[in-house]
Structure 1
Amino acid sequence: MGKLGTLTIGQAPRGDITPTLDAVLDPALPRLHAGVLDGLSQDQITNDFAPEPGGALLITKLLDGTSVVIDRARTELAAQAKLAMLEDAGCTTILMLCTGHFASLATKHARLIEPDRILPPTVAALVQNAQLGIIVPLAEQIASEAGKWAPLARSPLYAAASPYGSDGPSITEAAEALAEGGAQILLMDCMGFVERHREEAAAAGLPVVLSNALIAKIVSEVV
């Protein structure tokens, strides 16, 4: 049996995500959780990961329960160092707990599982010619993350609603807007969306694909 490492772009452990993994993984499987922002204060996060003007954004959760918007490029650079740390700690498989697109992450020996590389072809095969509606946490991500959905037979519809709470639309409102716009299946495109968010989205009367649940089931087959 190997050892599973998980890397969140926020702070570990992610008490909202790990139960989904625990539900499908062998309890005896050793695990090590790490976060890109581990040990950093809010000021340090602001100084080191502040979004660049016009740059791609990510949103994540901190240990105190608050959320923070960070720059994707800066996050990717810091994540690479964390991957090396997890490998040095003996992890044989490392799962990124983020569905955002990262162009250059790599490991030396461990199997690196990036949801961004798994979700688009898998979801495309599941939905086939149905109209997919995608819920993302930030409206700004609709443009920056759109390229990864090229495998879909039809261009998806989008709506934004944060899993971490905000002044914007609720998840139910976003799901209902997508249903009214013609969506036939919904995808929640963030690892921070959990089962209770799926239930909120299901109020729109459509099937809902939960990214972290799908990824957890797939990962359980290879660890």
Structure 2
Amino acid sequence: MSKLGTLTIGQAPRADITPILDAVIGASVPQRHAGVLDGLSRIKIERDFATEPGQPVLITKLLDGSAVVIDRARTEAAAQHKLAMLEAEGCSTILMLCTGHFASLSTEKARLVEPDRILPPAVAALTQGAQLGIIVPLAEQISSEAGKWAPLGRAPLYAAASPYGGAGVSIAEAARELAGRGAQILLMDCMGFVERHRREAAEAGLPVILSNGMIAKLVSEIV
């Protein structure tokens, strides 16, 4: 029997993301949710996953609802151990709940689904040369995550707005900015963006691609 594992870079379960999966994946498919930061206090997270100046970062959500920014390389190393755990527990397909780029993640037998390997070619095919505007959570990710969008026919436009709140522009403001700069289609490049964020972005009058919605639909075809 198929068993779906999910791995968030934060703490599981992700109450904001799992309903999107449940909407398209049948209840007959067992699921096991795990997180890279499961069981860790914020103090330990800030120590063991501390960011380094100039190095790629990721942002994720903890069980208490707060957000934390963590180092991508340290997260990738810890994620590999969690993937092995999920595979040992019988997961036949494992979905990374992160659109960030990871260079070295692997599994022995389980099918590993990494959104950053699927979204760029799929979005390129959908947009067919239209000017894409990408909303990322952190301004620092505009440069660190840009390489994965090479399949696009045109260089995308970027704006930063976090799905987890805090200081900075709102999602609606980021979407309007991108529309004003010539974007024709918007992409929300983080698994933390959910349907309410899509509605906010859609106020700019453009089609909005929700990363986790697209990935959930694709994964439902193979589990």
Q: TM-score, normalised by structure 1?
A: 1.00
For 2:133, the equivalent position in structure 1 comes to: 133
> 1-side partners of 2:9 and 2:127: how far apart?
28
- SS of 1:23's partner is helix
> 2-side partners of 1:43 and 1:159: how far apart?
30
1:54 deviates by: 0.8
> 2-side partners of 1:166 and 1:101: how far apart?
24
For 2:113, the equivalent position in structure 1 comes to: 113
For 1:193, the equivalent position in structure 2 comes to: 193
Q: CA offsets per residue over residues 61-97 of structure 1, 9 Å max, x none? A: 0000000000000000000000000000000000000
Q: Which runs of 5+ in 1 are unaligned?
A: none
AA aligned to 2:49 is F
For 1:161, the equivalent position in structure 2 comes to: 161
- Paired-residue identity, %: 77
Q: CA offsets per residue over residues 87-125 of structure 1, 9 Å max, x none? A: 000000000000000000000000000000000000000
> 2-side partners of 1:58 and 1:67: how far apart?
10
1:53 deviates by: 1.3
For 1:123, the equivalent position in structure 2 comes to: 123
1:52 deviates by: 1.1
> 2-side partners of 1:47 and 1:166: how far apart?
22
> 2-side partners of 1:143 and 1:128: how far apart?
23
For 2:173, the equivalent position in structure 1 comes to: 173
For 2:68, the equivalent position in structure 1 comes to: 68
- SS of 2:164's partner is coil
1:20 deviates by: 0.2
> 1-side partners of 2:218 and 2:52: how far apart?
34
> 2-side partners of 1:132 and 1:198: how far apart?
15
Residues 1:34 and 2:34 are matched in the alignment: yes
AA aligned to 1:115 is P
- Structure 1 residue ranges, 4+ long, deviating more than 6 angstroms after superposition: none
1:32 deviates by: 0.1
Q: CA offsets per residue over residues 157-196 of structure 1, 9 Å max, x none? A: 0000000001100000000000000000000000000000
1:129 deviates by: 1.2
Q: Which runs of 5+ in 2 are unaligned?
A: none
